[in-house]
Amino acid sequence: MKKILISIMKIVGIIIIVIIVLLFVLTIVNNILTISEKEKYINVGKYVIIDGKRMNIYSKINDNKKDTIILLSGYGNSSPVLDFMPLTNELSKNYNVAIVEYFGYGWSDKTDKERTSNNIIEETRAALKQSGINPPYILMPHSISGIYSLYYANKYPDEVKAIIGIDPSVPAQMYYVDLIKKKSKLEKLVTTTGIVRAITKINPSIVQPKSLEGVYSSEDLNLIRIMYCWNNSNESLINEYNNMLKNMQETENYRFQSNIPVLFFLSKQSINVDTEIGKNWIKIHENLISNIIYKKITILNGPHHLYWTDFKQISEETYQFLNRDDK
């Protein structure tokens, strides 16, 4: 019996050593590849310096166009500039378009500054103004940026001309989603050790579905996957996640001004999820804009990332809504 126990312990010990060595090798390879990739893949857009750090901003500006749409990404987006590109190209036919990559996103630096709605919005405003892109803006938030846009519109109402939400988060969803559990910085180890890189290499559909082939070039899809390996669960994103509940609580009693036009595109897949939030997804959005004079909610068949599949319809309906006869 004692010999069997010793044999088992030896086997377990060997397995642990193999795992440690494998993680060590993965970490070294991951760090080397990351350094090499960041030298090879320069930012799409331009850097502005905010609080001593680089923030990436991409824009398609034409002085002949009157209105400017600001695309604001959902939580954890590996590269908002690349992810939004099909929608950016469609919207830019009628509007100026800009994308600010928050700290911890895309090519932007990471930051230790708290990821509160106020800090995120102030950094975004500073980046836009430093780039010569002046308000008023049409804010087009996806997912969690719905909260930041609500905060923005309440703090700076004169800078917001309209809100076009893409399956946006609203404060009331905090009653249906458990945001009490905090993310630990230990989760960053999954990225720094190269585990994420290995997993996404084996199964790229974790980052983007196969249905996106043809919408994005193979080069862009590969770069989005690579940037996911750079940014997944970095310290800025962990901090942002841990501030989500606080940010929602802060805006719980906020409303958009009644004269600000609001159009929400909601995902049918989000609505059809068999959970309390899925059952109430339309209702909580209707309640948020119940005071709005010019409002509309459109249900689209695509996934939560509606701009992957419905970018043409989003662009067309945005134009129709902003140029309606009852303005």
Sheet holding 96-100, edge to edge: 46-50, 53-60, 96-100, 68-72, 137-141, 160-166, 262-267, 295-300
DSSP letter for each residue of 202-263: H-GGGTS-GGGBTTB-HHHHHHHHHHHHHHTT-HHHHHHHHTHHHHHHHTTT----TTS-EE
Beta bridge partners of 125: none
Cα 317–216–91 angle (5° rounding)?
A: 25
**Tens digits of residue pLDDT in 278-291:** 999 999 999 999 99
Per-residue pLDDT band at 197 (split at 50, 70, 90): confident
Tokens of 167: 């399956």
| 134-to-63, 72, 137, 161, 201 alpha-carbon distances in Å | 12, 16, 8, 12, 41
Map out the domains of the chain as residue ranges: 46-183+233-322
- The 8 Å CB, 24+ separation contacts for 202-211 are 207/78, 208/308, 209/303, 209/308, 211/308, 211/309
Q: What pairs with residue 54 in β-bridges? A: 49
**Which pLDDT value is given to residue 96?**
97
Q: What pTM value is reported for the model?
A: 0.90
Tell me the CA distances in angstroms from 84 to 23, 118, 158, one per residue in order: 34, 24, 26
Residue 93 three-state SS: coil
pLDDT given for residue 256 in this prediction: 96
| pLDDT higher at 15 or 70 | 70
CATH superfamily of 46-183+233-322: Alpha/Beta hydrolase fold, catalytic domain (3.40.50.1820)
* Model pLDDT, residue 327: 55
